[in-house]
Amino acid sequence: MASHQFINGVYYPCWRIYRGHAPSSLQLDAISHVYYAFVLVNHDGTLRFLDEHADCAIAADGEKGCLSALAKLKSQRPGLKTLVSIGGGSGSAEFPVMAANPAARVTFARSCREFVERWHLDGVDIDWEHPETPHDGVNYMAMLRELRQALPSPWFQISTALPVGQYCLKHIDLAATGQLLDCLNLMGYDFNGPWTDVCGHHAQLLPPAGRLEHVYPRLRNSCHGGVEYILSRGFPARKLVLGIPVYARAFEGAHGIGQPFKAAHELEYNELPPEWIQRVSVDRHAGAASFVDNSVGGKGFVSFDVPATVERKAQYVREMGLGGLFYWTGVGDVKGPDSLVRTGYRALHGIPRPA
């Protein structure tokens, strides 16, 4: 794969405009795709704004609303691909009903085409979290077929975000999906969190060495496991894009993998103390990093990606012939040598770190 073909995409959450992060705050010279998060779907297939003020009215980069600001950026950078991401972790409840209704699927596809043309976007990203039954899987495929008919290739792009877990993937015809999609954004994160019994790395490339995963099977979850499964089902490697979390998961009261914890917290990468990033412990086998905050009232075991783990994941992408990397989120990153987005871009394209 020629280096210029690698995707290095970021999700831009519209609500971050309230913290001063307009679309122009992204490190655009290191980004190929921007996924605008989120727009929501109704049961009848029509679309609705998640936050109409942020999307269409608030001052952003000299425009009214973040969608106009993104369109302005695209006009200034013709090579930039922009897609609207529909759904999200708290916005997916309507997908099963909509996708099960043939008329609603047609409406949805038509609504997506109208939205893309209105806001000068390149396509649509489906973030249905998650199709978890055989029935959902069949309807998911029917929805994608309708969407592709309304947004024909190569003029429009369609991507989807899916987890590494077979609880979802096993219900989807991945080979057929590979014929319909331009990209599958594999959410290689959230393997451990407040919903688990013990702490662990939340975005490991490979399971950590040792035997803890035999006691706690969830610790076996890994990016590689998801990649292997998807490729084994006939999905094209060049269309598979690996996700990087630009946030940490902290497990209060724990000091190492496999330990119980009192509470769990989420911290954006740019909220982490710089010394944590500098003093982080990197497990090069697992492609994961952690810091233990033992201070009074500290966060405990904290799992997050750093430039060294992003470089490892970019190397993996190149070795496996995958399509690139994406980041949730682009606005959670930092500028300078500790930037995850810029590190990924350099590593994918074989650009050495600045001295």
Over the stretch 22-49, which tens digit does the pLDDT of each residue have?
999 999 999 999 999 999 999 999 999 9
pLDDT score for 212: 61
- Closest by CA to 326, choosing from 75, 50, 37, is 37
H-helix or E-strand containing 62? none
Q: What percent of the chain has pLDDT over 90?
A: 92
Q: How far is Cα 318 from Cα 90, in angstroms, rounded to an integer?
A: 33
- How confident is the model over 220-224, as a mean pLDDT? 93
Tens of pLDDT, residues 290-340: 999 999 999 999 999 999 999 999 999 999 999 999 999 999 999 999 999
pLDDT score for 2: 37
Q: Where are the alpha helices (DSSP H) in the chain?
A: 52, 66-76, 95-99, 102-118, 134-150, 166-169, 174-180, 212-215, 223-232, 274-278, 307-320, 340-348
Count of CB atoms within 10 A of residue 73's CB? 20
Q: What percent of the chain has pLDDT over 70?
A: 97
- How confident is the model over 76-90, as a mean pLDDT? 96
Tens of pLDDT, residues 143-173: 999 999 999 999 999 999 999 999 999 999 9
The model's pTM is 0.96
- How confident is the model over 244-272, as a mean pLDDT? 96
Q: How far is Cα 236 from Cα 137, in angstroms, rounded to an integer?
A: 19
Cis (ω within 30 of 0) for the bond into 329?
A: yes
pLDDT score for 40: 98
Write out the CATH class of domain 3-246+305-348. Answer: alpha beta
Q: Is 294 exposed, middle or buried (0-12, 13-18, 19+ CB in 10 A)?
A: exposed
- How confident is the model over 251-274, as a mean pLDDT? 95
The set of residues, in sequence order, having a beta carbon less than 8 Å from that of 38 and lying 6+ positions away, is 13, 14, 50, 85, 86, 87, 88, 91, 127
- Closest by CA to 49, choosing from 35, 70, 65, is 65
**Which residue has better confidence, 119 or 352?**
119
- How confident is the model over 13-22, as a mean pLDDT? 97
Contact call for residues 48 and 42 (beta carbons, < 8 A): yes
The set of residues, in sequence order, having a beta carbon less than 8 Å from that of 11 and lying 6+ positions away, is 34, 35, 37, 85, 326, 327, 328, 329, 330
3-class secondary-structure state, position 16: helix
Residue 109 has pLDDT above 80, yes or no: yes
Q: How far is Cα 8 from Cα 337, in angstroms, rounded to an integer?
A: 17
Count of CB atoms within 10 A of residue 228's CB? 13
Phi, psi dihedrals of residue 28, rounded to the nearest 5°:
-65, -25
Supply the mean pLDDT for the chain.
95
Q: How far is Cα 331 from Cα 326, in angstroms, rounded to an integer?
A: 13
Structure tokens at 251: 């497990």
Paired residues of 251 in beta bridges: 264, 301
3-class secondary-structure state, position 43: coil
- How confident is the model over 238-248, as a mean pLDDT? 98
DSSP codes joined into one string, 226-248: HHHHHHHTT--GGGEEEEEESEE
Tens of pLDDT, residues 160-215: 999 999 999 999 999 999 999 999 999 999 999 999 999 999 999 998 877 665 55
Residue 3 has pLDDT above 50, yes or no: no
Where in the chain are the domains? Answer: 3-246+305-348
Phi, psi dihedrals of residue 59, rounded to the nearest 5°:
-70, 125
Q: Tokens 């708290």 correspond to what residue? A: 90
Count of CB atoms within 10 A of residue 165's CB? 17
Structure tokens at 214: 């035999």
Q: How far is Cα 327 from Cα 236, in angstroms, rounded to an integer?
A: 21
Phi, psi dihedrals of residue 218, rounded to the nearest 5°:
-60, -30
